[in-house]
A and B are shown apart, each in its own frame.
Chain A
């Protein structure tokens, strides 16, 4: 599968053997490979939902995250990669090179381990999104049609959405706390490693801002500016 920007997405599973066939119920047939099917099954088990419900949520999440990615000028897969990289980098040891090749999470550190679990959960959910193949517009229309007639599904979908949003907020909070603690611990070393630590801190700060941006966008991806929408109201003039 090609990403939107035309580059190969290595994390995609291109295994075309042993495919499962599915009918979306809206006249759209598609196949999924065995690994994707297994991922979907595992997610369904974990969240105790049917494959149809999972797919609805995944599509909705995909659309939401796609919008967020567009807002910050990335495609969704790059945004996912950047998000994970930013999180991991912000957890990296400041005394070491915080570059991509040398990132590490200290699993002896309880808070870092907790964060890594959260990252894993988000990654799993995002991996779930990948299982949605091409032909998105038709499926989106199908989901919209189903939304109109199945209000209970909408409720569960919204709860799922809230959960993923809540997880990201939770993650941001954990990172903020962890960051504060680490800044305190390294403050004593600041005099001797001023230059080196200073550059790392700046980088972490920049990555944190990216996460803040994502979190604030989650409130409403469509929040327009009132200034552009101001208009004369129907005033009753005396």
Chain B
């Protein structure tokens, strides 16, 4: 019998990444820095508002969430530029603080609901969440984290609600949102990518897939064999794009006679624009293209070593990998190398390698957002199962909102 309690549940996908947290609902994705910070005092905040010359007054850029466990406002994402003390949601693949992570989820749901309202769609009322947890968190942490979330919810007539009080610090507007939580499905972070590939690329056929998620601070490996994540082989390694950019920063520092330190963030900002030169005061223009190549090759080599070791173990189990996929923010720098290494390992032709080694672009999504889209599909599938319906495997990401500065004018 179909369970009609799931009829009005909106599927949500989400994950707290090492640098960016992403949430997805239908064709909408929101992404903000995975960081939370203390707020300014009311007086200081008023002064900041008066002096703020930015024309970007979007909620996601200027978001504060009320933390009822501390009875104070906390800044989330880009707004933490005004915080004295900041905390990242995760570090080296481990959730740092449940209370902070809870606010991260509140911020994600609020931002999605806000996006809906701006598209003249009613705000979120009842949700089921597919949520990616860091690989190193482990099963016990998943349950503990869930129980923590449950303890923070408000109960009314046996139903659980998340009350979200949010403030747009730039405009001073305060909104309150009440969302009923139906269920939460916790899975390893890279599993989202598998779901997206399963539904969009594999035409709902089960292929053994080896996912590598190269993020900012970590890279994750997750073999999915016969639709199940292989927990024993999954791992989160504290090495990512940050490693690459901070090494470049260090080399620039040494080249300048240890006089000038370029923040790694400045190098990071140049990468999406394919800019590889940076001005070092006193030393001139520094071209870091070769170092970037070399650093990316080193990282790719580390990844390949782990992949090859896992392939031996997988083969011993009498199983083979049908597809490889590299996703995450680092995939744009690393994917071609990774595909070539896999091709060399199997002695595949270019054609086979192109067919078997995939990226998020193969399903029409940016490398960074495939996981949250996949978790939304996972939640959607579970709702369909409860309703005894076929799942709709289609998705079309039409809007992506981030907390990066927009409409910058002076």
Could you list which residues of chain A lie within 8 angstroms of chain B, going by C-beta atoms? 144, 147-148, 151, 154-155, 158-159, 162-163, 165-166, 169-170, 173, 219-220, 223-227, 229-233, 235-238
Our pick among B198, B318, B349 for the contact of A144 (Cβ within 8 Å) is B318
Inter-chain contact B312/A230, CB cutoff 8 Å: no
Q: Shortest distance in angstroms between B225's beta carbon and chain A's nearest beta carbon?
A: 11
Instruction: Give Cα distance in the complex from A28 to B375, angstroms.
Output: 51
Interface stretch among B200-208, B249-257, B399-407? B200-208
Q: Shortest distance in angstroms between B301's beta carbon and chain A's nearest beta carbon?
A: 19
Inter-chain contact A229/B227, CB cutoff 8 Å: yes
What are 20 sample pairs from A and B whose C-beta atoms fall under 8 A apart?
A154-B315, A154-B316, A155-B315, A158-B311, A159-B347, A162-B347, A166-B348, A169-B351, A169-B352, A219-B323, A220-B208, A220-B320, A223-B322, A226-B198, A230-B385, A232-B382, A235-B128, A235-B382, A238-B153, A238-B160
Q: Report the nearest A residue to B146, measured CB to CB.
A: A236
Q: Report the nearest B residue to A162, measured CB to CB.
A: B346
Which B338-388 residues have a C-beta within 8 angstroms of A?
346-349, 351-352, 356, 378, 381-382, 385-386
Which B70-106 residues have a C-beta within 8 angstroms of A?
none
A238 proximity list for chain B (CB < 8 A): 150, 153, 159-160, 181-184
> B95-133 toward A: CB 8 Å interface, digit per residue (1/0)?
000000000000000000000000000000000100000
A237 proximity list for chain B (CB < 8 A): 182-183
B177 close to A (CB within 8 Å): no
B315 proximity list for chain A (CB < 8 A): 151, 154-155, 158
B227 proximity list for chain A (CB < 8 A): 226, 229
A230 proximity list for chain B (CB < 8 A): 381, 385, 391
B185 close to A (CB within 8 Å): yes
Inter-chain contact B318/A155, CB cutoff 8 Å: no
B390 close to A (CB within 8 Å): yes
B150 proximity list for chain A (CB < 8 A): 238
B248 close to A (CB within 8 Å): no
Could you list which residues of chain B lie within 8 angstroms of chain A, going by C-beta atoms? 128, 143, 146, 150, 153, 159-160, 181-186, 198, 202, 204-208, 227, 311-312, 315-316, 318, 320, 322-323, 346-349, 351-352, 356, 378, 381-382, 385-386, 390-391
CB contact under 8 A between A159 and B346, given known A223-B207, A236-B186: yes
Our pick among B128, B205, B348 for the contact of A223 (Cβ within 8 Å) is B205
CB contact under 8 A between A226 and B185, given known A148-B316, A151-B312, A238-B160: no
Q: Report the nearest B residue to A176, measured CB to CB.
A: B351
Q: Report the nearest B residue to A148, measured CB to CB.
A: B316
Inter-chain contact B316/A235, CB cutoff 8 Å: no
CB contact under 8 A between A225 and B322, given known A166-B352, A230-B391, A235-B382: no
Inter-chain contact B185/A220, CB cutoff 8 Å: no
Inter-chain contact B184/A235, CB cutoff 8 Å: yes
Inter-chain contact A236/B184, CB cutoff 8 Å: yes
B385 proximity list for chain A (CB < 8 A): 230-232
Q: Shortest distance in angstroms between A9's beta carbon and chain B's nearest beta carbon?
A: 29
Inter-chain contact B322/A220, CB cutoff 8 Å: yes
A173 proximity list for chain B (CB < 8 A): 349, 351
Q: Report the nearest A residue to B143, measured CB to CB.
A: A236
A165 proximity list for chain B (CB < 8 A): 352
Inter-chain contact B349/A225, CB cutoff 8 Å: no
Inter-chain contact B386/A223, CB cutoff 8 Å: no
B318 proximity list for chain A (CB < 8 A): 144, 147
Q: 5 new A-B pairs (CB below 8 Å) besides A162-B347, A229-B206, A236-B185?
A: A166-B349, A223-B205, A236-B183, A237-B182, A238-B159
Instruction: Give Cα distance in the complex from A236 to B183, angstroms.
Output: 6
Q: Shortest distance in angstroms between A181's beta carbon and chain B's nearest beta carbon?
A: 17
Inter-chain contact B346/A226, CB cutoff 8 Å: no
A225 proximity list for chain B (CB < 8 A): 204-206
Instruction: Give Cα distance in the complex from A9 to B208, angstroms.
Output: 36
Q: Report the nearest A residue to B147, measured CB to CB.
A: A236
Inter-chain contact B316/A151, CB cutoff 8 Å: yes
Instruction: Give Cα distance in the complex from A235 to B380, angstroms.
Output: 12
Instruction: Give Cα distance in the complex from A170 to B182, angstroms.
Output: 51
Instruction: Give Cα distance in the complex from A232 to B382, angstroms.
Output: 6
B205 proximity list for chain A (CB < 8 A): 223-226
